[in-house]
Amino acid sequence: MAKIVKRKKGKKSLNILTFSVTLFLFSALLFLASSLFLRSYNNELSSRKQRITSEIAVLETQNDAIEVEISRLVSAERVDEIAANNGMVRNQDAIITITSDSPEDGE
Question: Does residue 53 belong to any structural domain of this protein?
Answer: yes
Mean predicted lDDT score pLDDT of the chain: 86
| Spatial distance between the Cα atoms of 60 and 56, rounded to a whole number of angstroms | 6
Angular region, 106: left φ>0, alpha ψ -120 to 50, beta rest: left
Question: Does residue 95 belong to any structural domain of this protein?
Answer: no
The span from the first CA to the last CA of the chain, in angstroms, equals: 122
Question: Does residue 6 belong to any structural domain of this protein?
Answer: no
pLDDT lower than 50: segments of the chain:
107
Question: Does residue 83 belong to any structural domain of this protein?
Answer: yes
Res 66: pLDDT: 97
- pTM (predicted TM-score): 0.52
Question: Does residue 57 belong to any structural domain of this protein?
Answer: yes
Domain count along the chain:
1
Domain range for 79 is: 11-90
